[in-house]
Amino acid sequence: MMRRLGLLLAAVLITVAAVPATPAAAAPCTGVRCYHVYADISVVAWTAPVVSPGAMHTYTAQVTNTGWRTGGLSAPVPWPGPASGVVYVGFEPGTPADERVGCHVDVGPQYGCFGGYNNGLAFDVGSIPSGATYQLSVFFRAPQAPGTYTFLVWIYPFQSPAPWTEYDPSNNSVTLTYQVA
Protein backbone atom coordinates (compact mmCIF):
# COMPACT_ATOMS: atom_id res chain seq x y z
CA MET A 1 0.00 0.00 0.00
CA MET A 2 2.80 2.41 0.91
CA ARG A 3 4.62 1.49 -2.24
CA ARG A 4 1.52 2.31 -4.36
CA LEU A 5 1.05 5.62 -2.58
CA GLY A 6 4.72 6.47 -3.19
CA LEU A 7 4.39 5.59 -6.91
CA LEU A 8 1.21 7.64 -7.17
CA LEU A 9 2.87 10.62 -5.48
CA ALA A 10 5.89 10.32 -7.79
CA ALA A 11 3.59 10.19 -10.85
CA VAL A 12 1.76 13.33 -9.70
CA LEU A 13 5.04 15.20 -9.12
CA ILE A 14 6.37 14.21 -12.56
CA THR A 15 3.10 15.33 -14.20
CA VAL A 16 3.16 18.70 -12.39
CA ALA A 17 6.81 19.22 -13.32
CA ALA A 18 6.10 18.42 -16.99
CA VAL A 19 3.25 20.97 -17.33
CA PRO A 20 4.68 24.33 -18.37
CA ALA A 21 4.02 27.25 -16.08
CA THR A 22 1.95 30.14 -17.40
CA PRO A 23 4.05 33.16 -18.30
CA ALA A 24 4.26 35.94 -15.76
CA ALA A 25 2.50 39.19 -16.63
CA ALA A 26 4.80 41.66 -18.36
CA ALA A 27 5.88 44.64 -16.36
CA PRO A 28 4.23 47.89 -17.49
CA CYS A 29 6.22 49.75 -20.11
CA THR A 30 7.50 52.99 -18.57
CA GLY A 31 10.56 55.16 -18.77
CA VAL A 32 12.81 56.58 -21.45
CA ARG A 33 13.27 53.28 -23.26
CA CYS A 34 9.58 52.46 -23.50
CA TYR A 35 7.94 52.85 -26.91
CA HIS A 36 4.51 52.00 -28.30
CA VAL A 37 3.63 51.58 -31.97
CA TYR A 38 0.19 52.20 -33.41
CA ALA A 39 -1.66 51.95 -36.69
CA ASP A 40 -2.93 55.30 -38.02
CA ILE A 41 -5.54 55.22 -40.76
CA SER A 42 -5.94 58.40 -42.80
CA VAL A 43 -7.96 59.33 -45.88
CA VAL A 44 -7.54 61.78 -48.76
CA ALA A 45 -10.19 62.13 -51.45
CA TRP A 46 -11.03 64.05 -54.61
CA THR A 47 -13.68 64.59 -57.26
CA ALA A 48 -14.19 66.83 -60.29
CA PRO A 49 -14.78 70.45 -59.19
CA VAL A 50 -17.58 70.97 -61.76
CA VAL A 51 -20.10 68.37 -62.94
CA SER A 52 -22.90 68.63 -65.54
CA PRO A 53 -26.47 68.13 -64.26
CA GLY A 54 -27.38 64.44 -64.21
CA ALA A 55 -23.91 63.32 -65.35
CA MET A 56 -22.16 60.34 -63.84
CA HIS A 57 -19.11 61.40 -61.82
CA THR A 58 -16.50 59.75 -59.62
CA TYR A 59 -15.32 60.20 -56.03
CA THR A 60 -11.95 58.61 -55.31
CA ALA A 61 -10.33 58.04 -51.92
CA GLN A 62 -6.93 56.79 -50.82
CA VAL A 63 -6.84 55.14 -47.40
CA THR A 64 -3.39 54.69 -45.81
CA ASN A 65 -2.07 52.98 -42.68
CA THR A 66 0.91 54.97 -41.45
CA GLY A 67 2.42 53.47 -38.32
CA TRP A 68 3.52 55.78 -35.49
CA ARG A 69 5.91 55.27 -32.60
CA THR A 70 5.40 57.15 -29.35
CA GLY A 71 7.20 57.22 -26.02
CA GLY A 72 10.75 57.42 -24.79
CA LEU A 73 12.47 60.78 -25.08
CA SER A 74 11.37 61.50 -28.67
CA ALA A 75 8.34 63.13 -30.20
CA PRO A 76 5.92 60.82 -32.07
CA VAL A 77 7.40 59.76 -35.41
CA PRO A 78 6.15 57.74 -38.41
CA TRP A 79 7.28 54.17 -37.84
CA PRO A 80 6.52 50.73 -39.26
CA GLY A 81 3.58 49.90 -37.09
CA PRO A 82 1.10 47.08 -36.85
CA ALA A 83 -1.58 46.25 -39.36
CA SER A 84 -4.87 47.92 -38.53
CA GLY A 85 -7.93 46.11 -37.38
CA VAL A 86 -10.97 46.01 -39.66
CA VAL A 87 -11.62 49.31 -41.48
CA TYR A 88 -14.81 50.52 -43.18
CA VAL A 89 -14.67 53.31 -45.77
CA GLY A 90 -17.91 55.24 -46.29
CA PHE A 91 -18.91 57.49 -49.18
CA GLU A 92 -21.88 59.66 -48.22
CA PRO A 93 -23.59 62.22 -50.49
CA GLY A 94 -24.79 65.48 -48.98
CA THR A 95 -28.08 65.15 -50.84
CA PRO A 96 -30.25 62.22 -51.95
CA ALA A 97 -30.26 63.85 -55.41
CA ASP A 98 -26.66 62.58 -55.82
CA GLU A 99 -27.63 58.99 -56.76
CA ARG A 100 -25.29 56.06 -56.20
CA VAL A 101 -24.40 54.02 -59.29
CA GLY A 102 -21.52 51.68 -58.39
CA CYS A 103 -18.03 51.20 -57.02
CA HIS A 104 -14.58 49.87 -57.80
CA VAL A 105 -11.42 48.96 -55.86
CA ASP A 106 -8.57 50.59 -57.82
CA VAL A 107 -5.75 49.40 -55.53
CA GLY A 108 -6.09 46.92 -52.66
CA PRO A 109 -7.95 43.71 -51.90
CA GLN A 110 -10.89 43.25 -54.24
CA TYR A 111 -13.70 43.61 -51.73
CA GLY A 112 -17.08 44.68 -53.00
CA CYS A 113 -19.05 47.63 -51.76
CA PHE A 114 -22.49 47.77 -50.22
CA GLY A 115 -25.18 50.35 -49.53
CA GLY A 116 -24.08 52.81 -46.87
CA TYR A 117 -25.50 55.65 -44.78
CA ASN A 118 -27.67 58.36 -46.33
CA ASN A 119 -27.94 56.67 -49.72
CA GLY A 120 -24.16 56.26 -49.90
CA LEU A 121 -21.80 53.37 -50.50
CA ALA A 122 -19.29 51.69 -48.20
CA PHE A 123 -16.40 49.21 -48.35
CA ASP A 124 -15.17 46.75 -45.74
CA VAL A 125 -11.44 46.76 -46.59
CA GLY A 126 -10.47 44.42 -43.77
CA SER A 127 -7.11 44.98 -42.09
CA ILE A 128 -4.69 47.40 -43.76
CA PRO A 129 -0.98 46.50 -43.45
CA SER A 130 1.41 49.16 -42.18
CA GLY A 131 2.64 51.34 -45.05
CA ALA A 132 -0.15 50.22 -47.41
CA THR A 133 -2.47 52.54 -49.36
CA TYR A 134 -5.75 51.34 -50.86
CA GLN A 135 -7.56 53.36 -53.52
CA LEU A 136 -11.33 53.14 -53.89
CA SER A 137 -13.68 54.83 -56.36
CA VAL A 138 -17.45 55.23 -56.33
CA PHE A 139 -19.72 56.44 -59.10
CA PHE A 140 -22.74 58.70 -58.62
CA ARG A 141 -25.17 60.49 -60.90
CA ALA A 142 -25.04 64.23 -60.17
CA PRO A 143 -28.13 66.15 -59.10
CA GLN A 144 -30.19 67.80 -61.85
CA ALA A 145 -30.41 71.16 -60.07
CA PRO A 146 -27.42 73.51 -60.46
CA GLY A 147 -25.71 74.51 -57.24
CA THR A 148 -22.96 73.69 -54.75
CA TYR A 149 -22.98 70.23 -53.16
CA THR A 150 -20.94 68.37 -50.55
CA PHE A 151 -19.87 64.78 -50.21
CA LEU A 152 -18.37 63.08 -47.12
CA VAL A 153 -15.73 60.35 -47.27
CA TRP A 154 -15.04 58.78 -43.86
CA ILE A 155 -13.27 55.82 -42.37
CA TYR A 156 -14.40 53.85 -39.38
CA PRO A 157 -11.96 51.73 -37.36
CA PHE A 158 -14.27 48.81 -36.60
CA GLN A 159 -13.71 47.40 -33.11
CA SER A 160 -15.02 43.87 -33.36
CA PRO A 161 -14.04 41.07 -33.06
CA ALA A 162 -10.49 42.32 -32.34
CA PRO A 163 -10.32 45.80 -30.78
CA TRP A 164 -7.37 47.94 -31.86
CA THR A 165 -6.06 51.41 -31.11
CA GLU A 166 -5.73 54.03 -33.80
CA TYR A 167 -3.12 56.72 -33.25
CA ASP A 168 -4.93 59.79 -34.65
CA PRO A 169 -8.67 59.62 -35.49
CA SER A 170 -8.74 63.32 -36.50
CA ASN A 171 -7.65 62.40 -40.06
CA ASN A 172 -10.51 59.95 -40.67
CA SER A 173 -12.78 62.08 -42.86
CA VAL A 174 -12.77 64.48 -45.79
CA THR A 175 -15.62 66.67 -47.01
CA LEU A 176 -15.57 67.38 -50.73
CA THR A 177 -17.35 70.29 -52.42
CA TYR A 178 -18.34 70.42 -56.08
CA GLN A 179 -20.50 72.49 -58.42
CA VAL A 180 -23.29 71.27 -60.67
CA ALA A 181 -23.40 73.70 -63.59
For position 125, which CATH number holds?
Answer: 2.60.40.1510
Torsions phi, psi of 179, nearest 5? -110, 140
Residue 41 within any structural domain of the chain: yes
- Which pLDDT belongs to residue 151? 97
Is 8 inside any structural domain? no
User: Considering its fold, how many domains does the chain have in total?
Assistant: 1
Band the pLDDT of 10: cuts 50, 70, 90.
very low
76 in a structural domain: yes
Position 5 in a domain: no
Please report whether residue 82 resides in a domain.
yes
CA–CA distance from 129 to each of 40, 41, 81, 116 (Å)?
11, 10, 9, 24
Taking the model in full, what pTM does it have?
A: 0.79
Q: What is the mean pLDDT of residues 4-29?
A: 50
Rounded Cα distance between 22 and 20, Å, is 6
164 part of a folded domain: yes
Q: Residue 8: enclosing H or E segment and its boundaries?
A: helix 2-18
Q: List the domain range (segments joined by +) for residue 84.
A: 32-176
Residue 43 resides in a domain: yes
pLDDT value, residue 16:
41
Indicate whether 14 belongs to any domain: no
